[in-house]
């Protein structure tokens, strides 16, 4: 019988156990995953094991002791890097890394300040298993055990596979259709483990890329029928109230609604925006939500331009910048508008220089269009006050009507300001992020006030419509303790969903009949709402949003991870809540909406992944000669 020299079988066992325990402790300490019962805790505990048994078990096929030891250390270093990277990423995005994110390398330089702010000294712990395995290799003597190769290996890997099946079976019991309704990455990590999740992510991304190749345009009929059935006709008294005016859209970086009409330790946070909420020329939306995913600001741009949902696994600006779209900019361009985006940042950040071409935007005023003098940059780049001032100067030279979309920067994590720009003191809580947030929001408010004054002074104000919206959250769930202190309440999953409200202002100078709008709505609704105010119908457009002013608008906001909010219910973390009381209710009340949310997200993914609008464009181009012939 031939003997097999195992890679210090005791070292192999130590390696598996060390990485297993390190991973589990990392789960508990670095990721705020909600555990509801003993079964979920058991699943969380065992889910790294099947992967670790398999990946470490490959060492059983290596005869050289040196090669086996190098392999064991390499695996432990790799798993440590995966956990460490996810922990740092989670602190900023409150989410887990996906494959497309890893290819967004052009963003890494700009993200450095936010990444550095999320590094903790305790992150060294993620590499403790590497040290343990190294010490085991160094001090545990080599053993040679007499075993039969085929039987031993087969039993080992059968055990690994069996554990995976048990894990998947328990996960399916706790969360039916887990792998087919994978909108929530946290659910995947909680149930199948961080390592298996990344394997699953690679598979799903490969499947997504194959969808474009296999698409033939027939899917357009099904999607089109759904869109037509849900079309919301424009409001008779709002349609065209801003016809032929300039459109100025301002993305208010990281601004959430909880600061509007509110104070911090007696200091008014947003005095100018507070005034706008009562202005008869301003529609202020109190129940408006961001719907972004990992693409954050770029996702909000995508939503507003296309009235489609962002992708679940990464920024569409990176993954599908070669697609054909029916954007807001393209529609306005067809109606005589000069379309542009103004953002004092590198043109390649979020792949904007490429994506804006796909969206039909005429010009991108990037950092090269601005003069950043000494003291005019902080944190991520040019301060909002000089940025908005120079943007108005650029607008004065534009052909009218124009569509300018401006992206602010200063109110961005980690929310740092120069001393001369601090108009209110810091808050005092256990979160430096929240403490500084109020100061940068106050600075942003001042910049918007000066922006309005500038538009009036340069003669652009009266003939424009100004739309301003919060692009995504600024304070993530990782700061719930501090938020609870500020709001004087314990933050529940229901509160976390409601805190995704961002402000929306639609300011129409001279209108005089604007009111506060309490309709539940989201960023996906902005495109049709804006176009209808400008007198442009959208009945034939491939969009999933609806005009908020329309009587047919449904108060139903779907988040990219499958959560949703209606005027009656809030659904989050598999629990249905009463929207008024915040109390959990019977799940059956939310079931129809859960199904509808899945359908709508699925259709959006179908359009993006299959690049279906290229077929729509081809159909339109074929019809155009016939229409011209009939007119002649």
Q: What is the pTM of this model?
A: 0.78
Is residue 65 one of the residues assigned to a domain? Answer: yes
Residues 304 and 164 in one domain: no
**Predicted local distance difference test score (pLDDT) of residue 217:** 87
Domain count, the chain: 2
Cα–Cα dist 105/352, whole Å: 14
Residues 205 and 329 in one domain: no
Is residue 369 one of the residues assigned to a domain? Answer: yes
Residues 201 and 223 in one domain: no
CB atoms within 10 A of CB 276: 23
Please check the confidence at residue 146 and state whether its pLDDT lies above 50.
no
Is residue 18 one of the residues assigned to a domain? Answer: yes
Regarding beta strands 584-585 and 575-578, do their DSSP bridges make them parallel or antiparallel, or are they unpaired?
antiparallel
Helix (H, G, I), strand (E, B) or coil at 543: coil
What digits encode the pLDDT tens for the residues 584-608?
999 999 999 999 999 999 999 999 9
Please check the confidence at residue 239 and state whether its pLDDT lies above 90.
yes
- Residue 592 CB partners (closer than 8 Å, separation 6+): none
Residues 250 and 320 in one domain: yes
Is residue 351 one of the residues assigned to a domain? Answer: yes
Regarding predicted confidence, which is higher, 8 or 217?
A: 217
Q: What is the DSSP letter of 400?
A: S
Residues 198 and 253 in one domain: no
Average pLDDT estimate for 214-223: 90
Is residue 108 one of the residues assigned to a domain? Answer: yes
Label residue 100 by pLDDT band (50, 70, 90): low
Please check the confidence at residue 145 and state whether its pLDDT lies above 60.
no
Cα–Cα dist 161/488, whole Å: 49
Residues 102 and 227 in one domain: no
Q: Do 488 and 536 contact (CB within 8 A), yes or no? A: no
What digits encode the pLDDT tens for the residues 258-308?
999 999 999 999 999 999 999 999 999 999 999 999 889 999 999 999 999
Residues 160 and 103 in one domain: yes
Residues 182 and 263 in one domain: no
What digits encode the pLDDT tens for the residues 302-352?
999 999 999 987 788 888 888 999 999 999 999 999 999 999 988 878 789
Cα–Cα dist 24/242, whole Å: 57
**Domain boundary residue, one of 152, 180, 211:** 211
Residues 260 and 181 in one domain: no
Cα–Cα dist 44/30, whole Å: 14
What digits encode the pLDDT tens for the residues 447-464?
999 999 999 999 999 999
Average pLDDT estimate for 230-239: 96
Cα–Cα dist 529/353, whole Å: 27
Give 242-299 as a DSSP string.
Answer: TTT-EEEEEEETT--GGGTT-EETTEES-HHHHHHHT-TTEEEETTEE----TTHHHH
Helix (H, G, I), strand (E, B) or coil at 403: strand
| Active-site annotation, residues | 297
Among the residue ranges 139-148, 349-358, 434-443, 446-455, the one predicted with the least confidence is 139-148
What digits encode the pLDDT tens for the residues 616-629?
888 777 765 554 45
In the beta sheet, which residues pair with residue 521?
288
Residues 87 and 23 in one domain: yes
Residues 45 and 122 in one domain: yes
Average pLDDT estimate for 399-412: 97
Is residue 340 one of the residues assigned to a domain? Answer: yes
Is residue 2 one of the residues assigned to a domain? Answer: no
What digits encode the pLDDT tens for the residues 520-544?
999 999 999 999 999 999 999 999 9
Helix (H, G, I), strand (E, B) or coil at 10: helix
Q: Do 67 and 59 contact (CB within 8 A), yes or no? A: no
Question: Does the bond joining 401 to the residue before it have cis omega, within 30 degrees of 0?
Answer: yes
What is the average pLDDT value for the chain, to the nearest integer?
89
**Domain boundary residue, one of 180, 211, 242:** 211
Highest-pLDDT range among 154-163, 231-240, 375-384: 231-240
- Edge-to-edge strand list for the sheet holding 569-572: 556-558, 564-566, 569-572, 575-578, 584-585
Helix (H, G, I), strand (E, B) or coil at 237: coil
Regarding predicted confidence, which is higher, 448 or 69?
A: 448
* CATH at residue 389: 3.40.720.10
> Could you give the percent of the chain with pLDDT greater than 70?
91
**Domain boundary residue, one of 191, 211, 231:** 211
**Predicted local distance difference test score (pLDDT) of residue 35:** 84
CB atoms within 10 A of CB 462: 11
Regarding predicted confidence, which is higher, 183 or 480?
A: 480
Residues 233 and 139 in one domain: no
Is residue 336 one of the residues assigned to a domain? Answer: yes
Range of the domain at 235: 219-626
């Amino acid at each position: 019988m031939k003997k097999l020299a195992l890679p210090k079988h005791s070292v192999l066992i130590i390696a598996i156990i060390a990485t297993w325990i390190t991973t589990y402790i990392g789960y508990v300490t670095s990721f705020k995953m909600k555990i509801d019962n003993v079964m979920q805790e058991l699943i969380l505990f065992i889910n790294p094991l099947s992967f670790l048994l398999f990946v470490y078990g490959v060492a059983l096929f290596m005869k050289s002791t040196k090669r086996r030891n190098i392999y064991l250390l390499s695996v432990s270093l790799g798993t440590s890097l995966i956990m460490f990277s996810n922990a740092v990423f989670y602190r900023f995005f409150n989410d887990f890394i996906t494959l497309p994110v890893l290819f967004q390398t052009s963003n890494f330089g700009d993200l450095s300040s936010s990444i550095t702010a999320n590094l903790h000294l305790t992150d060294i712990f993620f590499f403790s298993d590497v040290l343990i395995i190294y010490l085991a290799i160094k001090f545990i003597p080599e053993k040679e055990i007499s075993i039969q190769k085929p039987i031993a290996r087969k039993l080992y890997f059968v055990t690994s596979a069996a554990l995976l099946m048990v894990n998947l079976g328990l996960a399916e019991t706790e969360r039916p259709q887990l792998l087919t309704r994978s909108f929530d990455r946290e659910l995947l990590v909680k149930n199948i483990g961080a390592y298996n999740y990344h394997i699953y992510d690679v598979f799903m991304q490969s499947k997504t890329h194959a969808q474009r190749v296999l698409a033939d345009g027939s899917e357009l009929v099904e999607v089109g029928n759904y869109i037509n059935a849900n079309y919301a006709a424009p409001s008779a008294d709002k349609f065209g109230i801003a016809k032929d005016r300039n459109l100025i859209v301002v993305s208010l970086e990281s601004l959430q609604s909880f600061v509007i009409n509110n104070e911090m330790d007696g200091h008014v946070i947003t005095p100018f925006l507070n005034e706008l909420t009562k202005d008869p020329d301003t529609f202020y939306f109190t129940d408006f939500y961001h719907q972004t995913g990992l693409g954050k600001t770029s996702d909000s741009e995508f939503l507003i331009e296309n009235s489609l949902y962002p992708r679940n696994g990464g920024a569409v600006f990176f993954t599908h910048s070669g697609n054909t779209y029916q954007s807001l900019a393209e529609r306005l361009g067809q109606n005589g508008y000069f379309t542009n985006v103004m953002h004092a940042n590198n043109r390649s950040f979020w792949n904007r220089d490429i994506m804006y071409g796909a969206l039909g935007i005429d010009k991108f005023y990037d950092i090269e269009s601005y003069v950043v003098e000494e003291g005019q940059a902080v944190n991520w780049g040019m301060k909002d006050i000089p940025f908005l001032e120079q943007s108005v100067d650029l607008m004065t030279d534009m052909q009218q009507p124009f569509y300018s979309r401006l992206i602010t920067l200063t109110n961005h994590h980690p929310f740092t300001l120069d001393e001369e720009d601090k108009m209110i003191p810091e808050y005092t809580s256990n979160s430096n992020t929240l403490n500084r947030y109020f100061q940068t929001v106050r600075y942003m408010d001042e910049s918007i006030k000066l922006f309005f004054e500038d538009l009036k002074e340069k003669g652009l104000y009266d003939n424009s419509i100004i739309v301003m919206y919060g692009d995504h959250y600024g304070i993530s769930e990782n700061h719930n303790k501090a938020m609870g202190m500020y709001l004087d309440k314990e933050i529940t999953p229901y509160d976390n969903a409601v805190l995704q409200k961002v402000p929306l202002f639609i300011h129409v100078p001279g209108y005089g009949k604007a009111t506060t709008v309490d309709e539940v709505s989201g960023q996906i609704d902005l495109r049709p709402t804006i176009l209808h105010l400008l007198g442009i119908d959208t009945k034939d457009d491939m969009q999933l949003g609806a005009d908020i002013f329309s009587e047919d608008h449904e108060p139903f906001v779907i988040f990219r991870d499958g959560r949703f909010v209606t005027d009656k219910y809030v659904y989050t973390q598999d629990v249905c809540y009463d929207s008024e009381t915040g109390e959990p209710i019977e799940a059956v009340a939310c079931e129809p909406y859960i199904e509808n949310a899945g359908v709508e997200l699925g259709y959006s993914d179908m359009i993006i992944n299959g690049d279906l609008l290229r077929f729509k464009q081809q159909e339109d181009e074929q019809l155009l000669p016939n229409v011209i012939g009939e007119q002649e």
